[in-house]
Homo-oligomer: A and B are copies of this chain.
Amino acid sequence: MSLDDTTLSLHARIRGDIEGAILSGTLRPGDRIPFEHELMAQYGCARMTVNKALTGLVEAGLLDRRKRAGTFVSRPQIHMAALAIPDIQAEVTGRGQAYRLELLSRDLLPAASVDPERMRPPRGAKVLALTCRHLADGVPFAVEERLISLKAVPEAATVDFTEVAPGSWLLAHVPWTEAEHRITAAPAGRLAGALGVEEGMACLILDRRTWRGDQPITHVRQVFPGAGFDLVARFTGAGGPG
């Protein structure tokens, strides 16, 4: 089962063997895998080493363990895929295109005047409202309206967002604990005018809200022309297709 082991620690090799057997289908959901003392004998190591491998696979969601009963292959239940939070600036420059940012508006709003559908900042907090246009090789390809709670990110008030895109800056500086994405298709309206597309053209709208604990950090609505822009999510892990 195990391949080349010269570079791998033993617990990583045990883990890899079992993971491989599960992902290849040799071990199927519900199957019991050998007891710790059997794996000890099989690999000629201490129980703690086997235990470390199995504990890791439990955390990864591949195994379930029950005292006295044994260790079993989990039934796939995490039907999730990862959607990369698009860092527009990094993606454009990563493709070798020239990225340019235009700051169309910048306002400081009191918390009370913020649409609660978009963000519910704490009472009395100030909110920075930005409207930006993103250009690749001089051609506009995205417009974004963003709210940033200065209660959560006070440093944002002093950042020059004509140089670095607000999304890139936030990605690098502020950790979040919760995020919600909402993806919609809609005909080009008010915002899409700045993209230079025809009225009524199908556009992709990405709403993203992030929090740290209970505190809202940012809300952004990004509008992309439907033609030529996809959101791509790629995921490696265990689950079931649908």
Chain A residues in contact with chain B, CB under 8 A? Answer: 22-25, 29, 56, 59, 75-76, 79-87, 167-168, 170-187, 200-205, 208, 210, 212-213, 217-218, 220, 224, 226-227, 229-242
Contact = CB atoms under 8 A, between A and B. Distances in A.
A84 B76 contact: no
User: Which 3 pairs from chain A and chain B are nearest by CB?
Assistant: A185-B226, A210-B241, A202-B202
Contact of A172 (B180, B218, B230, B240): B240
A92 B6 CA distance: 51
Nearest to A153: B241
The copy count of this chain in the complex is 2
A176 B82 CA distance: 14
A121 to B, nearest CB: 14
A176 B241 contact: yes
B234 A180 contact: yes
Contacts of A212: 23, 25
B208 A185 contact: no
Given A29-B175, A174-B240, A179-B241, A80 B79 contact: no
A241 B217 contact: yes
A241 B174 contact: yes
B85 A83 contact: no
B234 A76 contact: no
A241 B83 contact: no
Contacts of A213: 23-24
A236 B178 contact: yes
Contact of A76 (B175, B184, B226): B175
B176 A240 contact: yes
Nearest to A232: B182
A83 B237 contact: no
A97 to B, nearest CB: 19
Contact of A181 (B22, B29, B81): B81
Contacts of A231: 181-184
B185 A185 contact: yes
A29 to B, nearest CB: 6
A91 B203 CA distance: 25
